[in-house]
Amino acid sequence: MHGEYKVPGGKLVVVDLEVADGLIRDFRLAGDFFLEPDTALEAINSAVEGMPVEADAATIAAAVRAALPEGAQLLGFSPEAVGTVVRRALVTAPGWRDFDWEIVHEKAVSPRMNLALDEVLTSRVGEGRRRPTLRIWEWDESAVVIGSFQSYRNEVDPEGAARHGFDVVRRISGGGAMMMAAGQIITYSLYVPASLVQGMTFADSYAFLDDWVLQALRSVGIEATYQPLNDIASPTGKIGGAAQKRLANGGVLHHATISYDIDGKTMTEVLRIGREKLSDKGTTSAAKRVDPLRTQTGMERSEIIERFKGTFRALTGAEDGAISADEYEAAQALVESKFATDAWLHRVP
């Protein structure tokens, strides 16, 4: 069995192994990482050799860490990365290039339609009716998008939202509220089969699915990093955040919102949580917590989106695709039955 795992922001870790009588045998670790001393490689191999195939990633990582010689240096990978790649090998998890991808970047639609498309397209991928897809959002009005489990009244100031022209909508994934001013953010969604992240912990899958966008950001001069659990940051501030939803049919939604520009004063008048987070910092501007792409690069939003798409194509071989009329119809029905209803918006009062 063979497994590969590219550590987000790090190196490629590769394992080859056999299974006999329910145990890992002939285990061999390789990759483009750095490891000192040389004897540490054999220590890692010996630690995994003979482990039961049921061992989870954390158990494997603990065994590797315990076996390392004193003072060992692992650069570009970690014991946890070894645990992850072993699990992926045991379940024969595919990589990015094992799928036929498409990129969708279409007309602007309402915030509710964007959220409904997320659910429809994730479901279609899970059912095998759509290729794995990267979708870049465009929207025709500003909105506050709250997480599936957030309290409406705790997160949003309805009067402030109305005054500044922000609709309020609720998405199917967890996480925090995002103030999505039209033209001031870049939002993308990945619709992937669960097999792509097989063998990873939930937390590891966030870093794995966002690694391509870190590469894209670095290509425009931003030293972007992943900050667990779901933040994308640079040395000068937070850039954006991600969220996930996994459907029972095997479809996985991973979407992220990245700040291109920001009006910090408006944020504090629309989001209640913005005031609370800033109240102990002696500042009246959320811009001191978020450093948008426009100020860091000077590039147009459209230029950055094209860099994103180019980076994703290079990684996956993706082709340009489209949302079908049937998918739009299904999403519109979902808007009417779910995303536009007070019952959904106020499911957590």
Q: In this structure, what are the phi and psi dihedrals at residue 134, rounded to the nearest 5 degrees?
A: -105, 125
Q: Tell me, what's the pLDDT at 287? A: 43
Q: Tell me, what's the pLDDT at 280? A: 45
Element (H, E) at 167: strand 167-170
Q: Tell me, what's the pLDDT at 146? A: 97
Which tokens sit at 81? 């990365």
Q: In this structure, what are the phi and psi dihedrals at residue 328, rounded to the nearest 5 degrees?
A: -60, -40
pLDDT digit string, tens, across residues 251-284:
999 999 999 998 888 988 999 865 545 444 443 4
For CA atoms 212, 213, 219, 223, the dihedral sign is: negative
Q: Cis peptide leading into 229, omega within 30 of 0? A: yes
**How many other CB atoms are there within 10 angstroms of residue 2's CB atom?**
12
Q: In terms of Cα–Cα distance, which of 163, 171, 164 is closest to 187?
A: 171
Q: Tell me, what's the pLDDT at 282? A: 40
Identify the burial level of 276 via C-beta atoms within 10 angstroms of its C-beta, where 0-12 means exposed, 13-18 middle and 19 or more buried. Answer: exposed
Q: Rounded to whole angstroms, how far apart are CA atoms 346 and 340?
A: 11
pTM for this one? 0.87
Q: Tell me, what's the pLDDT at 289? A: 58
Q: Tell me, what's the pLDDT at 204? A: 87
Q: In this structure, what are the phi and psi dihedrals at residue 207, rounded to the nearest 5 degrees?
A: -60, -40
pLDDT digit string, tens, across residues 12-27:
999 999 999 999 999 9
Q: What is the DSSP string of 43-111?
A: HHHHHHTT-BTT--HHHHHHHHHHHSPTT-EEES--HHHHHHHHHHHHTT---GGGS--EEEE---B-H
Q: Tell me, what's the pLDDT at 245? A: 97
Q: Rounded to whole angstroms, how far apart are CA atoms 169 and 255?
A: 16
Element (H, E) at 124: helix 111-127
Q: Tell me, what's the pLDDT at 202? A: 86
Q: In this structure, what are the phi and psi dihedrals at residue 287, rounded to the nearest 5 degrees?
A: -65, -15
- Tell me which amino acid residue 117 is: L
* CA max distance for the chain: 67
Q: What is the DSSP string of 102-122?
A: EEEE---B-HHHHHHHHHHHH
Identify the burial level of 297 via C-beta atoms within 10 angstroms of its C-beta, where 0-12 means exposed, 13-18 middle and 19 or more buried. Answer: middle
Q: List the chain pLDDT tens, one digit each, 349 residues.
A: 999 999 988 999 999 999 999 999 999 999 999 999 999 999 999 999 999 999 999 999 999 999 999 999 999 999 999 999 999 999 888 999 999 999 999 999 999 999 999 999 999 999 999 999 999 999 999 999 999 999 999 999 999 999 999 999 999 999 999 999 988 999 999 999 999 999 888 888 999 999 999 999 999 999 999 898 899 999 888 899 999 999 999 999 999 999 999 888 898 899 986 554 544 444 344 444 577 899 899 999 999 999 999 999 999 999 999 999 999 999 999 999 999 999 999 999 9
